[in-house]
Structure 1
Amino acid sequence: MVLRPPVEPMLAQARETLPPLAGVPGGMAVQPKFDGFRALLYTPLRAGDPVLLQTRRGALVQDRFPDLAAAARTLPAGLVLDGELAVLDPHGQLSFTALQRRATAGRNARVLAAEMPAHFIAFDVLQSDGQELLDEPFARRREVLEDLFTSYRLAPPWTLCPSTTDPAIADEWLYEWTDVPGVEGVVVKSLTGRYRPGVRGWTKVRRRNTTEALIGGVTGTLRRPQVLLLGRYDTTGRLRLVGKTVPLKPGPARDLAGHLTAAGPDHPWTGVRFTASWNSRTPLEPALVAPVLVAEFSADVSQDDGVWRHPLRYERLRLDATEADVPPVGDRQ
């Protein structure tokens, strides 16, 4: 059977720590988790048919990435790759902000492609020479993918995602590579596992750090806070929203309520419009509080301009800390 879009990509289940890699029947492989847009790339079997680029949700976006579509013309026919779309900033680091601009490009798609070229980080192959590989074990699919990069001497915009079975290297990728913007953790895969579309059959581990910010607002009420809006000051002295927590558990919410003070009219967020999540347009109307309390929270490493994209986890109130102890906007800790 020849694969045609949309094909649901295989997914990963999140966990806090790396699972055991040694002694597992069949063996396990670990790959870095890059912070991009998941995509499947299809090269045509027949001359004249278009290259297709499919998002995780099934949308076709090759018109927004004309540079990748053109480069894919040099790849073999009947190929389906699974990977991450990425864009590098002028400093050579992965930029999610630039990637978002590319992903929402309209008529200026070719202009943006020239200014900020896209890259495709391939970590799996679902079809080769028109032959579906879904039932092949991951180890075999990896061999086919590595042979593709070697035989065709692929270079940027194509990147082969690293892969290892060495626990020491996996630890290095999780705890050292994630200091680099654009790398947020690792994905663990069974070497004997088949590709199961739509199934969370892999494991992802994001690195999490613990740090501090000021509580600038809450959803719910001051007596029953639900979600914390956390802020840090930038270099101009402006308090900026850097993230929101997951809903508080009842115990911490009760403890915190006794310390919250309603904001005065000079609160720096007075009149500011908030949305429910990082990429949402749904309005959020929080209760502002005096930004004097320091909250300790844990977060993964996915940031854009000092703002965490994923929800934060409230750990505790730091009554021993003051505003001076809170890192500035842009500090990755």
Structure 2
Amino acid sequence: MRRLRNRTRGQTSYYHLISRTVDGEKLLGDPEKEFFLELITQVADFSGIQVIAYSVMSDHSHVLVEVPPIEGEYSDSEIVARYQKLYPEPTNALPYTVEELAELLEENQSEGQAIRAHLSRRMGDPSYFMKSVKQRFTSWFNQKYDRYGPVWGDRFTSVLVEGKSWPLQVVTAYIDLNSVRMGLVEDPGQYLYAGYAQAKNGNPEAQAGYRALGVDFDVYEKLLASSKETDEVLKDRERMALVLTEGNAEVSIQTALRFKIRYFNEGKVLGSPDFVENHAKAFARNPKRERKAHPMHGADWKGLTVGTGLRMNLFS
């Protein structure tokens, strides 16, 4: 399995994870979206990862996660508790009941040691998180529709996000407005397969994710608001996308977020210049090559930068 190249280990980190269906097929209807959301919660509980925001569409998904630092070993009791969340029943790959697993770990013989190492490797890792979600979904989907073959396209893409309030707010707003950009709803609170609508409807798990933003919910919601400017700009989306890409104009952040923006999907690292430069250097294939933070254009992003110098078709 290919691992995240922008993986951090000694600190809490945040990732915007994007997955797309094979060939962009619109494979996910309402039942599939509901099951995908169940899997996100289930696998996150096992992994110890906090889901902050999400949006599941018919052909792709966005998930913003908080990943805890990797520190020391997990206790056997914690491994058993997490195992029970992901494997309430034995499987072919892990044919142990919860009681059998606890006994093997306590005996601490070769089999128990191997299982402990296997499960521990999968905890607190966004690569394993996405792999588990997508594999389980594919198995369920193919069985449901009596088909075989992949459901998802190439491996997921990721953007490392600085763990400060402003970067997290902006990325979350971009995810929450996904359904609006796609033309499915006018109000993001109407799209039930996203964290924002779930939080508005009182879902405690969805509401818990927004606490990571470090601001009151109503303060964050200002990023989702439309305006007269938004209506005017979007009357000629194609022309304005070109203008914004070329850096010839700026619009409000609220308006800019209603465009598809490559910074959020392909920027590699997103945050303040110092954060981006430090991590871009650490993750570079060629450490001798100079790495710099690239300012985001099209709006006053309040100092946000990305780790790649994207130029073409930034907005669409």
Give TM-score, length-normalised by structure 1: 0.26
Would you tell me which structure has more strand in proportion to its own residues?
1
Give TM-score, length-normalised by structure 2: 0.27
Would you tell me which structure has more helix in proportion to its own residues?
2
